[in-house]
Amino acid sequence: MNIKKLLGKRLQEIRKKRNITQEHLAEMVELDTSSISHIENGKYYPNAENLDKILNVLNIKPSEIFTFENFLPKDELIEEMLNSMKNDDKLTRLMYKFYQSVKYQ
């Protein structure tokens, strides 16, 4: 499973725990419902601004959205992330920004 799918599954899991529909989340973060669906299905990454909006609406910290222990063993997750970042400069920069934002929490 790739990181886009993991991120999407995690967002969906948290959204559902909060009893928020895709439509309501989309409205609250000013996105189309299809955009939320694409993010949750692992087709798109949310940009930093939209991710921030989603995190605020769901009232979660960035570290909570990137907690994937339930999906893959740690070594597999690290390997997949590294391979994905090696092949995607944009993803590498996004992950670095995320790392910078949470490393001292």
pLDDT tens by residue, 7-58: 898 899 899 989 999 999 999 999 999 999 999 999 999 999 999 999 999 9
Host H or E run for residue 30: none
Report the range out of 2-6, 76-80, 85-89 with the highest average pLDDT: 85-89
CB distance 82 to 42 below 8 Å: no
Q: How would residue 65 be classed by pLDDT, with cut points 50, 70 and 90?
A: confident
Helices (H), the chain: 3-17, 22-29, 33-40, 48-58, 62-65, 74-86, 89-102
CA atoms within 13 A on the CB side of 25: 29
Neighbours of 79 (CB within 10 A): 12
Domains and CATH numbers, the chain: 3-102 (1.10.260.40)
Residue type, 97: K
pTM: 0.63
- As a whole-number percent, the residues of the chain with pLDDT over 90 amount to 50
H/E element, 2: none
